[in-house]
Amino acid sequence: MITTDIQLIKAHLEQGEVVGIPTETVYGLAANIYDDQAIAKIFSTKGRPNTNPLIVHVKSMEQVRTLVAEFPPKAELLAKRFWPGAMTLILPKSELISPAITSNQSTVAIRMPKHSTTLELLETLDFPLAAPSANPYNRISPTRAEHVEAYFPNIPILEGGACEAGVESTILSFDGDEVALLRHGAISIEEIEAEVGRILDRTSSESVHLAPGRSKKHYSPLCELIISYEPLFMLSAVQDKKVGILWFNEVKIASSKVAINHILAPSGSFKEAAANMYDALHQLEKSGVDLIIVERLPNYNLGRTINDRLERAAAK
């Protein structure tokens, strides 16, 4: 059920239910952080392992300070620069945060979403919201209310339009004066380093347990997906399959073997490509293709984030 009624969504949340909410990144599956039964429903609804921590969504810095035991100086600097926005900070948690949210860790993932509808909802609530992406575990993330409804037709969903960023938040952790990147996201590493100087890249493996969305296979369509700098070269290995190609900014070479050509960003903008990526994957999956071949983007700025998501979607 998709609705624009914020008061209705508020009532469902206060009754301990799980709801779909829009953010600027992707739609989330949200519940009251102080209700452990509601938090358990998030995990069971998504089929998500309870070893994978959730992100807490807040309405203000005042609220954040009740949820954390410490706020390192560089975390404060980044929060002032990028909140509300697509940045999640991993911080030492206060005793108000349930172990169910953090997978029994001593830190909590927090962000302030940059979406007017969800901020309006948060202002009506006496509690923050835990909200991972509103998709079954490992499936394509939702960037429209219709995507959430297709996955979870019995859950109330707050309509918020298409997500502006279209990819998940960037996740950072802190160790003394060091800032570490745990997950590439809608705010690029270049933007972050412009604010705080060089940061550590720990997106490969060692801190995987700290951050959501870090499993090897994730964001996946039901059909096979391949990522390549030369999409048409991959056609040589395809036998009798209905193929869709997802190009970055233009169809470089047409082929009669390709059933659907889809362009992510006609403008050549990484931001446009990020905003359109998951919706394009939903469309290609819905078209009934057997194989999606995606053109790998230049590996810098948001191109790095998009490639990260596509690599996980392609993982076996």
The CA distance from 159 to 143, in Å, is: 11
Please list the pLDDT of the chain residue by residue as tens digits (316 residues).
999 999 999 999 999 999 999 999 999 999 999 999 999 999 999 999 988 999 999 999 999 999 999 999 999 999 999 999 999 999 999 999 999 999 999 999 999 999 999 999 999 999 999 999 999 999 999 999 999 999 999 999 999 999 999 999 999 999 988 999 999 999 999 999 999 999 999 998 655 555 665 566 678 899 999 999 999 888 877 778 899 999 999 998 888 889 999 999 999 999 999 999 999 999 999 999 999 999 999 999 999 999 999 999 998 7
Nearest to 88 by CA among 186, 15, 222: 186
Nearest to 48 by CA among 18, 88, 77, 76: 18
pLDDT in tens, 87-107: 999 999 999 999 999 999 999
Same fold flag, 2-210 and 224-314: no
The CA distance from 262 to 39, in Å, is: 38
The CA distance from 198 to 255, in Å, is: 44
Domain 2-210: assigned CATH number: 3.90.870.10
pLDDT in tens, 107-166: 999 999 999 999 999 999 999 999 999 999 999 999 999 999 999 999 999 999 999 999
The CA distance from 271 to 278, in Å, is: 13
Output DSSP code: residue 16: T
Please check whether residue 154 is in contact with residue 41, taking contact to mean a CB–CB distance below 8 angstroms. no
Please check whether residue 67 is in contact with residue 108, taking contact to mean a CB–CB distance below 8 angstroms. yes
Pairing of strands 243-247, 291-295: parallel
E-only strand ranges, the chain: 2-3, 19-21, 28-32, 55-57, 87-92, 107-111, 129-130, 157-158, 170-175, 178-183, 200-201, 224-228, 243-247, 258-263, 291-295
Domain 224-314: assigned CATH number: 3.40.50.11030
Tokens 């409804």 belong to which residue? 149
Domain boundaries, the chain: 2-210, 224-314
> Over pLDDT 70: what percentage of the chain?
96
Q: What is the pTM of this model?
A: 0.94
Predicted pLDDT of residue 209:
56
